[in-house]
């Protein structure tokens, strides 16, 4: 019997090493990795520059505490300020922690302005993590069930619906912030329209709300720019980051600027491990490598080609609702639950996952080549076609109806 707590439905495979976008299991079988540890392995596996930097760092110092100066934290924050256009970075260790910090910033911002019970506008189908505050901010009943009472202070609206936010602005004077994943990840690769993001930003400016862009999954280069808000052409006030920020070393960051600058004062927040030298070396090396290797351009080019390839192979087929995404954040929505495709992918030597029950999700490393991107499409499309034709041949499940 396993002593690991049973919180994940795991696939029957263990990867023991990787190289670039390729993974190898215990038997030496090779898989094409189109998931990158759920958007974490920005530089792929075993990137020589990251491996050398981390090895060197382990031999120098791993952890020392925020009670002291941490020069690598300064360097990492400088890099993040430069690519984000924002001003201050709080380092933590995961996405939910980055979002927890963001929620605290919003509440503190409200209290500083005399709002005793500050509220935050959040989206349907959102996912911000699994702490009590972040699961309350999220839009999944499945994630919330069993953990009530939920944290108060969230007002939910549908994504891509500006009127709904305008209504809230008119009727709820406690609102101090909007919290949005500009491309929802766990919710099914739901892409915000850029005009919608700009409209949201306008509403925020008019009401002096914070614009908080959860880029934990969609940020850090995968869409072809460092951050999705840069496609829309404005600066948010708060940007939580994690996942790909240190190429696989656990790290999170709550980045603030604009109206959120200076909200946190000494004593308002903290983290024992946050900003440790090992993780910071991972951040600096990952960001420098993305820049030096032109990986933003690569993500835009290869991701664009993959989306086109998938549209050509699957678009318009019965059972395929939509192929969508931006750069290397890609979803294929089917009209029925398709979780079993993941195992079939593994059997065919391809790693991806399924989110929101019926959306095949691809989040490959930013180092993926055009040929490897083509190979993902060539391996995936026949699997989806076979799944759909076999499924249409038998009666649909209740869930699919």
Ligand X SMILES: Cc1ncc(COP(=O)(O)O)c(C=O)c1O
Residue nearest ligand X (C-beta atom): 95
Give the nearest distance from C-beta 358 to ligand X in angstroms. 18
> Is 225 considered catalytic here?
no
Give the nearest distance from C-beta 391 to ligand X in angstroms. 28
Question: DSSP secondary structure string, 28-48?
Answer: --EEEESSHHHHT-TT-BS-H
Our CB check for ligand X shows the closer of 73 and 94 to be 94
Our CB check for ligand X shows the closer of 20 and 252 to be 252
Catalytic residue among 237, 243, 264, 352: 243
- Which secondary-structure segment (H or E) carries 323? strand 320-326
Q: Would you call 57 helix, strand, or coil by DSSP?
A: helix
Give the nearest distance from C-beta 127 to ligand X in angstroms. 5
Q: Does 42 bind ligand X (CB under 6 A)?
A: no
Alpha carbons within 13 angstroms on the beta-carbon side of residue 381 total: 19
- Which secondary-structure segment (H or E) carries 359? strand 359-362
Binds ligand X (CB under 6 A): choice among 129, 282, 345, 373: 129
d(CA 153, CA 119): 4
Our CB check for ligand X shows the closer of 73 and 99 to be 99
Q: Does 365 bind ligand X (CB under 6 A)?
A: no
Q: Which two tokens stand for residue 142?
A: 């499945």
Binds ligand X (CB under 6 A): choice among 214, 237, 333, 391: 214
d(CA 356, CA 339): 9
> Is 154 considered catalytic here?
no
Q: Does 190 bind ligand X (CB under 6 A)?
A: no
Q: Does 352 bind ligand X (CB under 6 A)?
A: no
Tokens 């989806």 -> residue: 384
- Please tell me the total number of residues recorded for the chain in this structure: 401
Q: Does 100 bind ligand X (CB under 6 A)?
A: no
Q: Does 182 bind ligand X (CB under 6 A)?
A: no
Q: Which two tokens stand for residue 391?
A: 């499924």
333 pairs with which residues across the strands? 322, 359
Give the nearest distance from C-beta 364 to ligand X in angstroms. 16
> Is 292 considered catalytic here?
no
Q: How many residues bind ligand X (CB under 6 A)?
A: 14
Q: Does 103 bind ligand X (CB under 6 A)?
A: no
Catalytic residue among 33, 108, 211, 214: 214
Q: Which two tokens stand for residue 106?
A: 């919003």
Strand runs labelled E in 218-266: 238-241, 252-256
> Angle of helix 194-207 relative to helix 162-171, nearest 10 degrees?
10
Our CB check for ligand X shows the closer of 111 and 130 to be 130
51: buried, middle or exposed (CB in 10 Å: 19+, 13-18, 0-12)?
middle
Our CB check for ligand X shows the closer of 4 and 393 to be 4
Dihedral pair phi/psi, residue 381, rounded to 5°: -55, -50
Our CB check for ligand X shows the closer of 125 and 385 to be 125
Interacting residues of 9 by C-beta distance below 8 A, sequence separation 6+:
none
Our CB check for ligand X shows the closer of 10 and 30 to be 10
Catalytic residue among 33, 90, 91, 127: 127
Q: Does 287 bind ligand X (CB under 6 A)?
A: no
Distance (Å) of CA 173 to CA 10, 113, 117, 150, 207: 45, 12, 10, 21, 9
Binds ligand X (CB under 6 A): choice among 185, 188, 327, 373: 185
* Stretch binding ligand X (CB under 6 A), from 57-65, 73-81, 179-187, 201-209: 179-187
8 Å CB contact between 224 and 246: no
Give the nearest distance from C-beta 17 to ligand X in angstroms. 23
Q: Which of residues 239-278 bind ligand X (CB under 6 A)?
A: 242
Our CB check for ligand X shows the closer of 91 and 387 to be 91
Taking residue 342's Cβ as centre, other Cβ atoms within 10 Å add up to: 20
* Stretch binding ligand X (CB under 6 A), from 46-54, 88-96, 318-326, 343-351: 88-96
8 Å CB contact between 236 and 258: yes
Residues carrying an active site annotation: 127, 214, 243
**Contact positions vs ligand X (CB under 6 A):** 94-96, 99, 127-129, 181, 185-186, 214, 216-217, 242
């Amino acid at each position: 019997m396993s002593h690991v707590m049973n919180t994940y439905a795991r696939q029957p495979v263990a990867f023991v090493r990787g190289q670039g976008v390729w993974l190898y299991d215990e038997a030496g079988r090779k898989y094409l990795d189109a998931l990158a540890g759920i958007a974490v392995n920005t530089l792929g596996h075993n990137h020589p520059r990251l491996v050398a930097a981390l090895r060197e760092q382990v031999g120098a110092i791993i952890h020392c505490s925020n009670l002291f100066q941490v020069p690598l934290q300064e360097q990492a924050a400088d890099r993040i300020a430069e690519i984000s256009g924002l001003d201050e970075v709080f380092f933590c260790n995961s996405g939910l922690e980055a979002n927890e910090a963001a929620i605290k910033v919003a509440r503190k911002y409200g209290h500083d302005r005399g709002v005793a019970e500050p509220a935050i506008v959040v989206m349907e189908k959102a996912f911000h993590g699994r702490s009590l505050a972040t699961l309350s901010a999220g839009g999944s009943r499945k994630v919330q069930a069993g953990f009530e009472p939920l944290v108060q202070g969230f007002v939910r609206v549908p994504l891509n619906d500006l009127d709904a936010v305008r209504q809230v602005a008119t009727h709820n004077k406690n609102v101090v912030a909007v919290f949005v994943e500009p491309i929802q990840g766990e919710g099914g690769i739901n892409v915000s329209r850029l005009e919608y993001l700009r409209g949201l930003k306008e509403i925020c400016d008019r009401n002096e709300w914070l614009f908080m862009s959860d880029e934990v999954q969609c940020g850090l280069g995968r869409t072809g720019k460092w951050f999705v808000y840069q496609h829309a052409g404005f600066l948010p006030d708060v940007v939580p980051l994690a996942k790909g920020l240190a190429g696989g070393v656990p790290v999170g960051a709550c980045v603030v600027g604009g109206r959120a600058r200076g909200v946190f004062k000494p004593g308002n927040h903290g983290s024992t491990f946050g900003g440790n030298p090992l993780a910071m070396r991972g951040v600096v090396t990952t960001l420098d490598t993305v820049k030096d290797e032109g990986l933003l351009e690569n993500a835009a080019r290869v991701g664009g080609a993959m989306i086109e390839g998938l549209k050509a192979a699957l678009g318009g087929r019965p059972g395929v609702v939509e192929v969508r995404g931006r750069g290397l954040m890609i979803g294929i929505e089917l009209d029925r639950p398709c979780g079993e495709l993941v195992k079939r992918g593994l059997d065919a030597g391809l790693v991806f996952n399924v989110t929101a029950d019926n959306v095949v999700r691809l989040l490959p490393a930013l180092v993926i080549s055009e040929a490897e991107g083509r190979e993902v499409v060539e391996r995936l499309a026949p699997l989806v076609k076979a799944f759909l034709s076999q499924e249409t041949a038998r009666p649909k499940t209740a869930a699919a109806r």
